[in-house]
Amino acid sequence: MNAARSRRKPRERHESERRADAYDRLEKKLASGPLGEEAWELVPREGVKMSEVLEEFIAPYRQYAEDDASYRKLLSLAVAAWNLSFLSYRKRREQLETLVTTLGATERDRQAFRDIMRAMIRRKRLHFLHHRRMIVEYDLEDMGDMYHLTVASAPFGEGAEEHEED
């Protein structure tokens, strides 16, 4: 019995160290962002974890992310779509077109990007409308046989979302 307990302690410490490392990485990303370190304070949130919500949000697309790089791209697309979903229809279209122009790809690729983003925005608005937190930053750690996702989020203002269809 003592052996079982001693095996758990390092595992628990490892888990807490991993969480602390993820929070440290997020704090550094936020501090180096345009608003600087004074604008953000990471506070562990009670209740629903946005990392779990984001993982559920990308679930239909996860099968297409076959490696680390494609999984990270999927997360980036998902976060962009998630946050765009809070904007009015007009602003959402403008911001999406701004993103499209940065691609520098063929028109076919740009259209595919628009289609994927619109599908993700539609998914967010249909299935995750009650989640009113924007995703500010995320950290993805490759644990070898799995990934650990940590998400920093901020509440989005009440009534700011317009309910127009894409």
| H runs (alpha helix) in the chain | 2-31, 50-58, 68-84, 89-101, 107-127
For the chain, domain boundaries: 1-40, 47-166
Which of the pair, 102 or 42, is modelled with greater confidence?
102
Of the candidates 133, 140, 152, which has an alpha carbon nearest to the alpha carbon of residue 30?
Answer: 152
Q: What is the pLDDT of residues 114-144, one digit of tens each?
A: 999 999 999 999 999 999 888 988 999 888 8
Residues whose CB is less than 8 angstroms from the CB of residue 24 and which lie 6 or more positions away in sequence, other chains included: none
Instruction: Tell me which amino acid residue 66 is.
Output: E
The reported pLDDT for the residue numbered 3 is: 41
Q: Which residue has the higher pLDDT, 71 or 2?
A: 71
Q: What is the mean pLDDT of residues 62-82?
A: 94
